């Protein structure tokens, strides 16, 4: 019981009078020596029809991830085809010429996994992971879905109804409204700026149009199959060749980078009586092929991209304006955007923008202290290890490298390059790329309260 | 390597070995290696080594969840979780966060029905630093009224961004437990009323810490690529001197057996489409029926091959997806202790009456009650369950394994249960599934909750 009362004393003393003890603080024990971490190398083969296949071993759990990445998606949609890529990807799971939807789902489940399909701006991915012993059967199932889809009118009609409902729900969510409005403001008429199909457009998506989209855009030259985990490579390679050799080469990937807006614009979407304002602030920056990409990654982590970053420390931990602010550098082929996101209490919408710009400006003027930057760089190096320590983490890393044509040296030299960034380089990167005068601001919130707060941010820097 | 405490742990240091389950010493199936012991101050320690990658996870789980928070302080357990990041004896505000991040790690904390946890996923050479930091905040907090006010604002913004400013918001993860449960501990708003959050004081925080944040009310887990002897040494060095406290008696969390169907509803002025949620009270943990229910969850609700997906999505086209699960939205079947629900929820169109959807759900439920499941369905459910267990264990660089070990140590004093799950599920028979469905999927054991999209001026009360 002596211990207990001591403990109680200690706690209340610390809670009520922390300062007197501050002088005797103990330092954390330093970390040991980092172990080498090497991202496992891959082996890539190219089939005669142009399809690439990468094998990368990971771990000891007897599972294998198989993911087909097809270079199509929103980028190949005409203005009259918004969300047609997404609808087509979903239709792949609705049956083939030899399997019903139910058979596809049940067979994948019997292999200890599931088959998923979805579309993004620049890719359609089809895949999943199963117990290793079923790797070959899963490759055959995946190939059936991709090569022999049965696009039936009744299924298209049902999925259109689902898409309409999903869109309606997304359009009621402040984060989604902000995300899409921000995209429209930056990308305009480019396919990246078109996210939700109006009901009138959706109504016209027939099985015939789905089939035509797939015929036009799916083919081996656009395909890269990634296989990761525990597997017998020779047997899987045979299964892949048997399943995909007959696929037509098809068209080369579409190259159509946008020209995002790079001057100050501000839009406020009214959401009457909203208790928070949802913010996005950002602008076009370098893309992953740029020599500045790594410096930009480090700069982003320091200014807003990590828990201990400057913007988060300021508007969350100091001011309490928000719960989960974050920034990131978004990437598309030949395109990069820096974006800061936050949901802030309505009455401090303007004050939050003020602090975000304050932190950006401060970094553009003064190089960060070396210790602060070292912490950020160590964080990125460590997180890189965590991210690449899983089957899907590895596949995601390789897809990124392939989508931007970076070569595997990007992966092997990432940590070295991150650690080489200097404080002055961070300042210069912020100065060059993060110019507030060129930033787009999107706000979704209670117009009557928020509008006066935004006045100083409409044109240029206040 | 700065090994400041070189003595090897074990019997020489007076550790009480409760169980040491060597790897692969049990029945077939994937075996997680486990070393389990208790420090003299009552801290339970679980170590589980996996050298696949040079990473590690350090987690501290306190046996206090949001069920048990003070009655006039809803949301307090979660607010307190935030305060644990505001400063301790040797780490000022933001210093804990920066210490983890600058060591290449990710960190978080969360508050759940039956525990509050704090964890770091890190490169494995930084384990000692993480243990020191977790021990530092177990010793005591150093926070002031400005820290408290700041986190009250942050937590209120968390409630706004996740609930108040969102369509559906509290549906179904807060709404259904509040509607289905009778006992206040299980049925209150655990995210907290904003007024209760504002009312919290530093004295409340001191009392709460003193009551629950003690080594004998906690489990420490280290998973990943660690060196066992050194790690045991660090744990004793940093945690060994923290005094135990006398713990308060645990409250009665039991729920009465439900005997009539309940219905509840609210108008949501932000929503554009209606939503339907259904909850059933579950059998107690570790009973044969509870394992049977894990398979029922797979058969009815998990994946595109499940009966509810096939019926509601593929056959009837009433919705695009069905979400279902045990401890849905806040965890899974294996990381809670008290009474729990099986929930399912879906979004639908205005022209479709909730009762017509319920009729389809009833048809599938009746199928389980009136006939034993066929062999193929049961085999597929078992395979899916095993695959989902592996997914849980592997999730987030092994955090999922850490979470399972912590839960079984905290609630059952037996982390080796992680290695017995597959065998228990293998014992489930078709007739047990049928009996379990008959008792637990009774209509009188369920609560139906509907969201009605509505205009602002209608949003005043229940609309049936």
**What is the tens place of the pLDDT at every residue in B158-179?**
999 999 999 999 999 999 999 9
Chain B's closest residue to A31, CA to CA, is: B126
What's the rounded Cα separation, in Å, for the pair A308 and A296? 17
CATH numeric code, B262-453? 3.30.830.10
- Contact assignment for B128 to A31 by CB distance below 8 Å: yes
Q: How much is the average pLDDT of A428-445? A: 98
pLDDT, averaged across chain B: 92
CA distance B305 to chain A (A): 5
Whether A230 and chain B come into contact, CB under 8 Å, resolves to: no
**Which domains are seen in chain A, by residue range?**
42-244 (3.30.830.10), 265-457 (3.30.830.10)
Tell me which residue in A8, A173, A317 faces B167 most closely, judged by beta carbons. Answer: A173
Q: How much is the average pLDDT of A441-449? A: 98
Residue-level pLDDT at B29: 64
Residue-level pLDDT at B458: 46
In the predicted structure, residue B107 carries a pLDDT above the cut 90: yes
Q: Tell me the residues of chain A between 123 and 162 that have a Cβ less than 8 Å away from chain B.
A: 130-131, 158-159, 161-162
In the predicted structure, residue A228 carries a pLDDT above the cut 90: yes
CA distance B126 to chain A (A): 5
Q: What kind and span of H or E run contains B49?
A: strand B44-49
What is the phi/psi pair of residue B446, to 5°? Answer: -120, 160
In the predicted structure, residue B70 carries a pLDDT above the cut 60: yes
- Contact assignment for A375 to B98 by CB distance below 8 Å: yes
Residue-level pLDDT at A80: 98
Tell me how far CA of residue B122 lies from CA of A32, A385, B103, B126, in angstroms: 12, 9, 7, 7
- Among A69-78, B29-38, B118-127, B265-274, which stretch is predicted with the lowest mean pLDDT? B29-38
Residue-level pLDDT at B456: 56
Cβ contact A124:A70 at 8 Å: yes
Q: How much is the average pLDDT of B296-323? A: 98
Chain A's closest residue to B387, CA to CA, is: A112
| More confident: A160 or B18 | A160
Q: How much is the average pLDDT of A86-92? A: 98
Q: How much is the average pLDDT of B141-165? A: 96
Q: Tell me the residues of chain A between 55 and 84 that have a Cβ less than 8 Å away from chain B.
A: 59-61, 63
Q: How much is the average pLDDT of B60-65? A: 98
Instruction: For residue B154, list chain A residues with Cβ-Cβ distance below 8 A.
Output: 316-317, 320, 322-323
CA distance B376 to chain A (A): 9
Could you give the strand order of the β-sheet that contains B44-49, starting from the edge strand earlier in sequence? B16-21, B34-38, B44-49, B218-224, B55-62, B116-123, B106-111
Residue-level pLDDT at B10: 28
Q: Which fold has domain B11-239?
A: Cytochrome Bc1 Complex; Chain A, domain 1 (3.30.830)
Instruction: For residue B305, list chain A residues with Cβ-Cβ distance below 8 A.
Output: 102, 105-106, 108-109, 114
In the predicted structure, residue A70 carries a pLDDT above the cut 70: yes
For chain B, the structural domain boundaries read: 11-239, 262-453
Q: Tell me the residues of chain A between 400 and 459 that have a Cβ less than 8 Å away from chain B.
A: none
What's the rounded Cα separation, in Å, for the pair A441 and A354? 12
Instruction: For residue A162, list chain B residues with Cβ-Cβ distance below 8 A.
Output: 317, 319-320
Q: How much is the average pLDDT of A327-347? A: 98
**What is the tens place of the pLDDT at every residue in B263-278?**
999 999 999 999 999 9
What's the rounded Cα separation, in Å, for the pair A81 and B46? 55
- Among A440-449, B255-264, B391-400, which stretch is predicted with the lowest mean pLDDT? B391-400
pLDDT, averaged across chain A: 93
Residue-level pLDDT at B407: 98
In the predicted structure, residue A18 carries a pLDDT above the cut 80: no
DSSP string, B373-421: PPHHHHHHHHHHHHHHHHHHHHHHHHHHHHHHHHHHHHHHS-GGGGGTH
Residue-level pLDDT at A23: 53
Residue-level pLDDT at A210: 98
Phi-psi region of A98 (alpha: psi -120 to 50; beta: other; left: phi over 0): alpha
- Contact assignment for B387 to A131 by CB distance below 8 Å: yes
In the predicted structure, residue B26 carries a pLDDT above the cut 60: no
Whether A28 and chain B come into contact, CB under 8 Å, resolves to: yes
In the predicted structure, residue B449 carries a pLDDT above the cut 60: yes
How confident is residue B2, by pLDDT bands cut at 50, 70 and 90?
very low
> What is the distance between the terminal CA atoms of chain B, rounded to a whole angstrom?
66
How confident is residue B463, by pLDDT bands cut at 50, 70 and 90?
very low
What's the rounded Cα separation, in Å, for the pair A62 and A226? 17
Chain A's closest residue to B121, CA to CA, is: A386
Radius of gyration from C-alpha coordinates of chain B: 23
In the predicted structure, residue A462 carries a pLDDT above the cut 50: no
The answer to pTM > 0.90 is yes
**Pseudo-torsion of CA B366, B372, B376, B379, nearest 10°?**
100
| More confident: B157 or A9 | B157
In the predicted structure, residue B14 carries a pLDDT above the cut 60: no
CA distance A185 to chain B (A): 23
Q: Is there a common fold for B11-239 and B262-453? A: yes
**What is the tens place of the pLDDT at every residue in A163-175?**
999 999 999 999 9
In the predicted structure, residue B18 carries a pLDDT above the cut 80: no
């Amino acid at each position: 019981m002596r211990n207990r009362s001591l403990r109680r004393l200690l706690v209340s003393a610390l809670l009520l009078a922390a300062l007197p003890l501050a002088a005797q603080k103990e330092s954390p024990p330093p970390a040991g020596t980092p172990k080498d971490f090497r991202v496992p190398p891959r082996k890539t083969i190219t089939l005669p029809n142009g399809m690439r296949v990468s094998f990368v071993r990971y771990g000891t759990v007897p599972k294998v991830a198989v993911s087909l990445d097809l270079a199509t998606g929103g980028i190949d949609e005409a203005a009259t085809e918004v969300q047609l890529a997404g609808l087509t990807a979903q239709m792949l799971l609705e049956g083939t010429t030899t399997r019903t939807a139910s058979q596809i789902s049940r067979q994948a489940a019997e292999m200890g996994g599931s088959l998923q399909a979805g579309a993004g701006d620049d890719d359609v991915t089809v895949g999943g992971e199963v117990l290793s012993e079923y790797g070959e059967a899963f490759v055959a199932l995946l190939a059936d879905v991709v090569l022999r889809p049965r696009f039936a009118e009744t299924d298209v009609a049902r999925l259109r109804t689902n898409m309409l409902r999903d869109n309606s729900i997304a359009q009621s969510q402040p984060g989604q409204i902000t995300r899409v409005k921000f995209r429209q403001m930056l990308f305009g008429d480019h396919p990246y700026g078109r996210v939700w199909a109006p009901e009138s457009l959706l109504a016209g998506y027939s099985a015939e149009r789905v089939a035509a989209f797939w015929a036009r855009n799916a083919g081996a030259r656009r395909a890269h199959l990634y296989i990761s985990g525990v597997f017998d490579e020779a047997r899987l390679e045979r299964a892949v060749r048997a399943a995909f050799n007959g696929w037509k080469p098809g068209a080369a990937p579409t190259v159509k980078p946008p020209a995002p807006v790079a001057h100050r614009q501000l839009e406020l979407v009214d959401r009457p009586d909203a208790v928070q304002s949802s913010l996005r602030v950002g602008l076009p920056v370098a893309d992953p092929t740029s020599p500045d990409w790594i410096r930009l990654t480090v700069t982003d982590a320091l200014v807003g991209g990590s828990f201990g970053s400057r913007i988060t420390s300021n508007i969350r931990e100091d001011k309490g304006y928000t719960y989960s602010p974050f920034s990131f550098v978004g990437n598309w082929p030949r395109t990069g955007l820096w974006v800061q996101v936050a949901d802030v209490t309505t009455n401090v919408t303007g004050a939050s923008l003020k602090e975000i710009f304050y932190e950006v400006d401060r970094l553009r003027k003064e190089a960060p202290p070396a210790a602060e930057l070292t912490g950020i760089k160590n964080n990125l190096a460590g997180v890189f290890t965590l991210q690449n320590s899983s089957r899907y983490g590895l596949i995601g890393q390789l897809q990124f490298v392939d989508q931007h044509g970076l070569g595997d040296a990007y992966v092997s030299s990432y940590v070295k390059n991150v650690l080489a960034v200097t404080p002055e380089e961070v300042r210069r990167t912020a100065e060059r790329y993060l110019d507030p005068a060129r930033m787009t601001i999107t706000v979704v919130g209670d117009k009557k309260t928020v509008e006066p707060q935004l006045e100083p941010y409409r044109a240029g820097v206040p | 390597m700065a090994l400041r405490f070189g003595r090897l742990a074990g019997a020489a240091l007076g550790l009480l070995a409760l169980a040491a389950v060597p790897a692969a010493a049990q029945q077939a199936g994937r075996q997680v290696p486990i070393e389990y012991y208790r420090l003299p101050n009552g801290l339970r320690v679980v170590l589980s080594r996996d050298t696949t990658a040079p990473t590690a996870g350090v987690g501290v789980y306190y046996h206090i969840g949001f069920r048990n928070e003070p009655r006039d302080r809803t949301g307090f357990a979660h607010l307190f979780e935030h305060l644990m990041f505001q400063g301790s004896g040797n780490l000022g505000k933001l210093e804990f966060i920066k210490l983890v991040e600058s060591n290449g790690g990710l960190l978080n904390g969360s508050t759940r029905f039956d525990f509050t946890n704090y964890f770091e996923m890190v490169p494995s050479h930084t384990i000692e630093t993480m243990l020191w930091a977790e021990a530092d905040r177990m010793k005591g907090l150093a926070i002031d009224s400005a820290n408290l006010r700041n986190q009250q604002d942050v937590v209120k913004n968390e409630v706004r961004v996740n609930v108040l400013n969102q369509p559906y918001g509290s549906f179904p993860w807060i709404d259904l437990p509040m509607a289905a449960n009778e006992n206040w501990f299980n049925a209150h708003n655990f995210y907290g009323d904003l007024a209760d959050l504002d009312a919290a004081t530093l004295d409340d925080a001191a009392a709460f810490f003193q009551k629950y944040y003690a080594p004998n009310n906690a489990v420490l887990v280290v998973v990943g690529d660690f060196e066992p002897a050194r790690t045991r040494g660090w744990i004793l060095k940093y945690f060994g001197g923290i005094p135990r406290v006398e713990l308060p008696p645990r409250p009665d969390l039991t729920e009465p057996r439900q005997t009539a169907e309940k219905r509840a509803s609210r108008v949501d002025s932000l929503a554009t489409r209606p939503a339907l949620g259904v909850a059933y009270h579950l059998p107690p943990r570790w009973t044969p029926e509870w394992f049977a229910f894990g398979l029922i969850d797979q058969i009815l609700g998990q994946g595109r091959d499940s009966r509810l997906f096939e019926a509601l999505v593929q056959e009837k086209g009433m919705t695009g997806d069905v979400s279902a699960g045990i401890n849905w939205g806040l965890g899974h079947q294996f990381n809670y202790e008290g009474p729990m629900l099986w929930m399912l929820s879906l979004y639908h169109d205005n022209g479709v009456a909730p009762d017509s959807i319920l009729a389809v759900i009833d048809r599938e439920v009746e199928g389980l009650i009136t006939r034993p499941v066929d062999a193929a369905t049961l085999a597929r459910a078992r395979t899916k369950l095993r695959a989902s267990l592996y997914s849980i264990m592997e999730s987030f660089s092994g955090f999922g394994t850490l979470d399972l070990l912590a839960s079984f140590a905290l609630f059952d004093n037996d982390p080796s249960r992680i290695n017995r799950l597959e065998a228990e599920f293998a014992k489930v028979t078709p007739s047990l599934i049928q009996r379990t469905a008959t008792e637990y999927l009774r209509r009188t054991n369920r609560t139906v909750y509907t969201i009605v999209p509505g205009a602002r001026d209608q949003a005043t009360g229940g609309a049936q």
